[in-house]
Amino acid sequence: MSKKYPYIYIFAAVLLFTVSMNISANDRDFIVVIDPGHGGSDPGAVGSSSKEKGINLAVALKVGNLISAAHKDVKVVYTRNTDKFVGLDDRAEIANRNKADLFISIHTNAVRNTSVKGAETFTLGLARTDENLQVAMRENAAILLEDDYMQKYEGFDPKSTESYIIFEFMQNKHVEQSISLASEIQKGFVSYKRADRGVRQAGFLVLRKTSMPSVLVELGFITNREEERYMKSAEGQNNLARAISNSFTGYKREYDRKRGVPADAAPAPADKKPATGVSDATVREAAKDVTVYKVQILASNRKLARGARELKGYSSESYYVEKGLYKYTHGETTSATEIRKIRQAVRKNFKDAFIVAFRNGEKVKQD
Ligand SMILES: [Zn+2]
């Protein structure tokens, strides 16, 4: 018989395959990597009757299941889903390789004082308190179990304070989104009546190489009897996982909303006079129904003092507050061309600086 039938079948199969590929690409367009800390030969913190690695894995898998069930467009990837050892850089690498949109590392805390309790969420940054530094030091010590850790981590000694200097000069362009997720997670914990130790910053190696917003959650203290019992129990683990997955939902909603906004800054009203050298008052007067551009240089979860090192000599006076973050800006002009020049100059100091547009004092968009 004719040979054309097989071609038709192949054509149909290819067509079906292409269509299903498209569907899956559209269906699962957000990827979250869930990273249960420690595992295998690395138990993490050890309590009186449990190990951190087990609690982390149990809660992480529950978080993943809840997220998958609630979001058809989200793909969940685990850095481990069994009791095995995975290096810190390898965890970040898994997230990068999967082009993840979000990275959530799950851990359990430990301190000598057994009365200390509560949940806290970290974003990557320089630890400002010894307490936060201690958490990073304990978590980073996991690399000591990796082969060739000296080469792999370029001589980073997790137990030496001096090593942490690298986190001081590090640019973290996802700081805002990371803090925003961290705040959501803390709110989630509060809704499940966990003691709230807040959003913190410290130098965690596992977050350092991730190229997406990332947080490290400390569920509670394994060294506190009451919290250990809670984190070991199915009810406790379910609640902690719900707290995190609900927070993820809040974060994702905001992410989707933002994606609805066109990416490019609106063109300036035709040929407004450049405002460089024009006094603030003039610009403010011109600001009515006119787009005013500024360059955002950094965001901080606390107000920075004048001359703060983070500002690199830029003014501490020029900022706006959004969702609990102080967002520092430089320059103020109604000219889209001018603001691009300003951004160009600012990028020598803040390479991720971007333009923000305001109308009538309200932020309208950013590029
Ligand atoms: Zn840990």
Query: Tens place of pLDDT for every residue, the chain, 367 residues?
Result: 445 555 655 555 555 554 444 444 444 589 999 999 999 999 999 999 999 999 999 999 999 999 999 999 999 999 999 999 999 999 999 999 999 999 999 999 999 999 999 999 999 998 989 999 999 999 999 999 999 999 999 999 999 999 998 888 777 789 999 999 999 999 999 999 999 999 999 999 999 999 999 999 999 999 999 999 999 999 999 999 999 999 999 999 999 888 873 333 333 333 333 333 333 333 333 334 567 788 899 888 888 888 888 888 888 878 888 877 888 888 877 777 778 888 888 888 888 888 888 776 678 776 6
Whole-angstrom Cα distance, residue 112 to residue 224?
Answer: 9
Return the pLDDT at 284. 36
Same domain, 178 and 311: no
Residue 187 covered by a domain: yes
Residue 74 covered by a domain: yes
**Cβ partners under 8 Å of residue 303, min gap 6:** 319, 326
Same domain, 355 and 227: no
Same domain, 250 and 293: no
Same domain, 214 and 138: yes
**Cβ partners under 8 Å of residue 83, min gap 6:** 39, 40, 53, 54, 57
Whole-angstrom Cα distance, residue 249 to residue 66?
Answer: 10
Same domain, 252 and 284: no
Cα angle 254-298-330, degrees, rounded to a multiple of 5? 115
Total number of domains constituting the chain: 2
Domain assignment of residue 314, given as a range:
280-366
Whole-angstrom Cα distance, residue 218 to residue 117?
Answer: 11
Whole-number Å distance, alpha carbon 217 to ligand 1 midpoint, is 9
Residue 270 covered by a domain: no
Whole-number Å distance, alpha carbon 53 to ligand 1 midpoint, is 7
Entry pTM = 0.67
Whole-number Å distance, alpha carbon 146 to ligand 1 midpoint, is 15
Whole-number Å distance, alpha carbon 128 to ligand 1 midpoint, is 20
What are the backbone angles phi and psi of residue 194, rounded to the nearest 5°? -85, 150
Same domain, 285 and 253: no
Nearest to 40 by CA among 150, 140, 135, 145: 145
Same domain, 287 and 210: no
Long-range contacts of 252-260 (CB under 8 A, 24+ apart): 252/30, 252/71, 252/74, 254/180, 255/30, 255/101
Same domain, 34 and 117: yes
Residue 324 covered by a domain: yes
Whole-angstrom Cα distance, residue 158 to residue 193?
Answer: 33
Tell me the CATH number at 224: 3.40.630.40
Whole-number Å distance, alpha carbon 216 to ligand 1 midpoint, is 9
Whole-number Å distance, alpha carbon 38 to ligand 1 midpoint, is 6
First and final CA of the chain: distance in angstroms? Answer: 61
Same domain, 49 and 197: yes
Whole-number Å distance, alpha carbon 97 to ligand 1 midpoint, is 23
Same domain, 166 and 235: yes
Residue 94 covered by a domain: yes
The domain boundary residue, chosen from 259, 291, 324: 259
Residue 98 covered by a domain: yes
- Interhelix angle 175-191/234-259, nearest 10 degrees: 140
Whole-number Å distance, alpha carbon 14 to ligand 1 midpoint, is 46
Whole-number Å distance, alpha carbon 222 to ligand 1 midpoint, is 11
Return the pLDDT at 277. 35
Residue 272 covered by a domain: no
Tell me the CATH number at 348: 3.30.70
Same domain, 31 and 180: yes
Whole-number Å distance, alpha carbon 135 to ligand 1 midpoint, is 9
Whole-number Å distance, alpha carbon 180 to ligand 1 midpoint, is 22
Six token digits for residue 67: 């997220």
Same domain, 197 and 138: yes
Residue 274 covered by a domain: no
Q: Is 118 left (phi over 0), alpha (psi -120 to 50) or beta?
A: left
The domain boundary residue, chosen from 211, 229, 259: 259
The domain boundary residue, chosen from 230, 259, 288: 259
Cα angle 351-355-358, degrees, rounded to a multiple of 5? 155
Q: Is 104 helix (H, G, I), strand (E, B) or coil?
A: strand
